[in-house]
A and B are shown apart, each in its own frame.
Chain A
């Protein structure tokens, strides 16, 4: 085993987290002042500031200017084990979801979409782009691609007030039985950044995936850009 001395900032950050646990602090509880914390643990001011910055970046603390540092509420954890739409998440998380249609177009199926939707090149595909807001704050941009022949007249439904999956199930009688989702990071381009109200080139979750029916026929291919400040994704692996 090596003898290992942690870096002062890492040790300070962990000390603050331990303090929070030891004193059973809750979200929105205030931490002692920086001067008090430096005195309690013999850290210098620079190290402590650095630690607070790190924990703020990790979403564990937040600052109120002139007031001090507070324990942040934990991020919403979105479980990815079941097929869920933003409507379902909002209901579970107890938040207000607003949806705004950014565009609804028909396009010819491209080679990439052909592989995802299992339909030939050139077939008409509905492309639906929607902005989601949670409690009035923009949180994600969802783009859905569907085989137009499978969902004729989709444009007649109000996709701002209704969930696409709910429409697919009840109006078109599709069984949505499963899917596959790929998650990585991307950087919002100028237009995406504008809609999401974040600085250009901010890292966001990039989710793309396919939803299929009981015959494994793809029903939807989607791409979503999701801000990470308020949420993270979770999953459980069982044997």
Chain B
């Protein structure tokens, strides 16, 4: 990490002064992890400086690992990451044929009351709120997963501000200190309604795999439930086991 003991005064280069302003705002939570900072134009106007200077300030924070530039979208705050690489044991791993170009689109992102079904999964009262996020993932342009995710609002109160095209919910969990310790997964076969079937590109009444996953944190609280419809012709699952 950089040493900030150099005194930044009104005489220091402007880009460094701006760097410290933005850094302080990030540290004080004005721009929480996963959210975007104002645009270059906005910052230039706010502080009466030119855009190139703003860009330089941002570049230094990008190389420090505090910010990340996303083409066409802006500049986002990165949260603290757990440096330890966690080894996962067990579980179903999805395996797809060929291709590496995954593209995920968010179809729905909303807040709703849990109601009894999801309240019983998360240990909430039915009137407590949960996020509901529906995402469609394509591989090389062809749909392969349709995922419905549910997260209690109190687990990630900031989720509405986080751009899920830039960060995955898992990164969001990490930034806010929620650690996924265990997931319970089931794999089943089902058929889709015509509407969802069309999204996934399958014929009506064609079977798909249904992958459901409940994730638990370090206090054994259920923090996420996902129901993913998976095209069997484009994806299978692998499990490794041992005695």
Interface residues of A (CB under 8 A from B): 1-4, 7, 9, 14, 17-19, 21-22, 54, 57-59, 75, 77, 80-83, 176-187, 202-205, 228, 232-239
Contacts and interface: CB of A to CB of B under 8 A. Distances in A.
14 contacts: A3-B110, A4-B108, A17-B116, A54-B193, A57-B191, A80-B92, A80-B241, A183-B238, A234-B185, A237-B89, A237-B92, A238-B89, A239-B89, A239-B181
A178 B89 CA distance: 13
Contacts of B189: 185, 203-205, 228, 232
B198 to A, nearest CB: 14
B184 A180 contact: no
A14 B191 CA distance: 17
B95 to A, nearest CB: 7
A180 B185 contact: no
A235 B185 contact: yes
Contacts of A81: 90, 239, 241
A30 B48 CA distance: 71
B243 A1 contact: no
A183 B207 CA distance: 14
Given A4-B110, A19-B116, A203-B191, 6 more contacts: A7-B195, A21-B120, A177-B243, A180-B241, A183-B239, A203-B208
B237 A238 contact: no
Contact of B187 (A202, A234, A239): A234
A237 B191 contact: no
Contact of A2 (B109, B207, B236, B237): B109
Interface in B65-95: 86-92, 95
A167 to B, nearest CB: 17
A170 B160 CA distance: 59
B92 A239 contact: no
A79 to B, nearest CB: 10
* B contact patch SS: strand
A238 B90 contact: yes
Contacts of A75: 188
Contacts of A83: 241-243
B193 to A, nearest CB: 7
Contacts of A203: 189, 191, 206-208, 232
B183 A82 contact: no
Contact of A180 (B126, B179, B235, B238): B238
Contact of B111 (A1, A14, A22, A183): A1
Contact of A181 (B111, B112, B239): B239
A172 to B, nearest CB: 17
B92 A183 contact: yes
Contact of A236 (B112, B115, B185, B240): B185
A178 B194 CA distance: 41
A58 B192 CA distance: 10
B237 A183 contact: yes
Interface in B31-62: none
A233 B186 contact: yes
B241 A179 contact: yes
Interface string B108-124: 11111001110010000
